[in-house]
Amino acid sequence: MRHGRASLAFSFFSQGVAFALLVTRIPAIQERYGISDALLPLFLAAVPVLAGVGSVLTERIVRRAPVSAVLRWAQPVVLLALLGVAAGDEVWQVALALGVFGLSVGALDASMNMLGVGLQAAYGRSIMLGFHAAYSLGGIVGASLAWAGAHWDLALLVSYLPVVVVLVPAALVGSRWYYGGERPAGDKDAVAGGDDSAAGDGGRVAFRMLLPLALVMTFAYIGDSTVANWSAKYLQDVLGSSEELATVPYNAYMVTTLVGRAVGDLGVRRFGAVTVVRCGAVLAAAGFAVVAAAPGPWTGMAGFTVLGLGLCVIVPQTFAAAGRMFAGRSDVAVARLNVFNYVGFLVGSPLVGGLGDAWSYRGAMLVPMALVLMTLVYAGSFGDGSARYGVGHERPRIADVGRGGNRV
C-alpha cells in the first residue's frame, strides 16, 4: 500500500505540472496559432466540457476494466496531448490536441480520485488531502517552469518537451504499483471494501444523495476559478497594484493550498471531516470578505492567501465523503461528482466577470463568498465522527512475522 500511495501521489503531482503548464501559457498558445480574443473563450470552455465527458465515460469504462488501467493510460495521453498543443501549426491541430487533452484529463481526474478513495479506505485513515497536496506542488512546479519558459522566451515545444520526456516514462513505471481498483472477475459492480446497500435504492448511486456533495464541489471550484482568473486583474485594476505585484496572489494562494493540504489529513484524523470542512468554508468566506473590503493591494493579497487555506480542504474531503456514502459504488459516485469540478470551473469565471462588468468587482467577490458559506448547510453530508479515519477509528497495524506467528 505504501508503494501504491507513493505512485498515486506522483500521478497527482504530474497532473498538477501538466495543467499548470497549459493554463499559464495560454497567451503564448494564442499567439502561436493566431487565435482571436473572440475565439479564445470557446477553446478554453471546450476543455472542461470535454473533461466532464471524459469523467462520465470513465464511469462506464470502470464497470468492465480496472480503474488502475484507466489511470495508467490516461496520464501519458494527457502529457502527449500537452506536447501536441505545442507542436502544431494550424488552428485545427491545436483544437484537436486540446480536445484530446480535455477528454483524457476527465478520465485522469476521475480515476486518480477513485484510486485515492479506495486507498484511503484500505488505510483506514485520512490520506486524500495528501494526494491533493501533491497536485498543488505539481501546480507550483509547472507554473515555475512556465515562468522560466516565458522569461527566457522559449518556444512552447522547447518548454514542454523536457517535461513530457521525463514524466511519461516515470508515470508508466510508477503505474506498476497502483493499489486497488481491481474488480473481481465476473462482477462488474463490486468494489472491494463495501457493498451496494450503501449506494441508495437498488444499489444505485442515487443523485438525490449525491446532490449536496455535488453542490459543495461546484461552490468550491467557483471560488477556485475566481482566484485563478481574476486575482491578478482585481489587484491591478481595483486595488491599484503594479503589474508585477498582481502576479503574486495566485502564487500565494497555491502555496497556502499546498500547506493546508499537507497538514489537513492530521486535522481530519483529530477532529473529523465535518469540522475540517466547516472551518475551511469559514476561512474561505473570510478570505473573500477581506478581498472585497481591501483598501489596498497588500490587504487584498492577504485575503487571497487566507482563501487558499480555506478552500484547499473542501474538494478532497468531498471525494472522500462520496466514497464513504456509496461504499459499494464509490467509483461511480466519484466519476459523477468529478463532473461538478468542471461545472464550477465553467460557471465561476464568467459569473464573476459578468457581475464585475455590470456592477463592481468588489461586489462580485461577495458572490463566491456566499456560495462557499453555503457549504455549512451541507456539511452534515460529510459524515459523523467515524469519518475522521484516525484516533480510535484507525485500523491496527499488525503483521504476522515468521512461522511462529509473532506479532509486531
335 in a domain, yes or no?
A: yes
Is there a single domain that holds both residue 280 and residue 371?
A: yes
166 and 227 both lie in a single domain: no
Residue 203's CATH number: 1.20.1250.20
State the Cα torsion 219-128-113-178 to the nearest 10°.
170
Q: How confident is the model at residue 229 (pLDDT cuts 50, 70, 90)?
A: confident
Distance CA 220, CA 378 (A): 13
Q: Is residue 188 part of a domain?
A: no
Query: Is the Cα torsion angle 17, 23, 29, 31 positive or negative in sign?
Result: negative
Tell me the pLDDT band of 37, cut-offs 50, 70 and 90: confident
Q: Does residue 367 share a domain with residue 237?
A: yes
80 plus 138 within the same structural domain: yes
What is the pTM (predicted TM-score) of this model? Answer: 0.86
Asked if residue 71 is part of any domain, the answer here is: yes
| pLDDT surpassing 80 at residue 186 | no
Nearest one of 46, 50, 58, 53 to 335, comparing CA atoms? 58
165 and 35 in a single domain? The answer is yes
Tell me if 262 sits within 8 A of 140, measured CB to CB.
Answer: no
Residue where a domain terminates, one of 128, 153, 179: 179
The answer to whether residues 58 and 110 touch, using CB atoms and an 8 Å cutoff, is yes
Question: Cell numbers 467515524 correspond to what residue?
Answer: 386
Question: If you search the block for the grid coordinates 467509483, which residue do you land on?
Answer: 331
**Pair 167, 236 in one domain:** no
Is 399 a residue whose pLDDT tops 50? no
pLDDT tens for 301-359 read: 999 999 999 999 999 999 999 998 888 789 999 999 999 999 999 999 899 999 998 99
CA atoms within 13 A of residue 258's CA, in its CB half-sphere? 17
Does any domain span residue 402? no
**3-state secondary structure (DSSP) of residue 186:** coil
363 and 250 together in one domain: yes
Strand partners, 400: 407
**Quick check: is 186 in a domain?**
no
Q: Which domain holds residue 133?
A: 1-179
Q: Domain boundary residue among 122, 149, 179?
A: 179
Q: Cell numbers of 134, please?
A: 501533491
Per-residue confidence (pLDDT) for residue 190, from 0 to 100: 39
**For position 394, what pLDDT does the model report?**
41
Lowest mean pLDDT among 60-64, 102-106, 252-256, 404-408: 404-408
Q: What is the 3-state secondary structure (H, E, C) of 280-305?
A: HHHHHHHHHHHHHHCCCHHHHHHHHH
- Residue 391 confidence (pLDDT): 40
Q: For residue 119, what is the enclosing H or E element?
A: helix 91-123
The answer to whether residues 224 and 85 belong to one domain is no
Residues 237 and 168 in one domain: no
pLDDT at 389: 52
Residue 96: the pLDDT is: 97
Question: What is the tally of structural domains in the chain?
Answer: 2
- Please indicate, yes or no, whether residues 310 and 356 belong to a single structural domain of this protein: yes
Could you read off the pLDDT of 135-171 as tens digits, one per residue?
999 999 998 898 888 889 899 999 999 999 999 999 9
* 160 falls within a domain: yes
One-letter amino acid for residue 119 of the chain: L
Residue 62 included in any domain:
yes
Q: What is the pLDDT of residues 358-379, one digit of tens each?
A: 999 999 999 999 999 999 999 9
Look up residue 395 and give its DSSP letter.
P
Residue 81 has pLDDT above 70, yes or no: yes
108 and 214 inside one domain: no
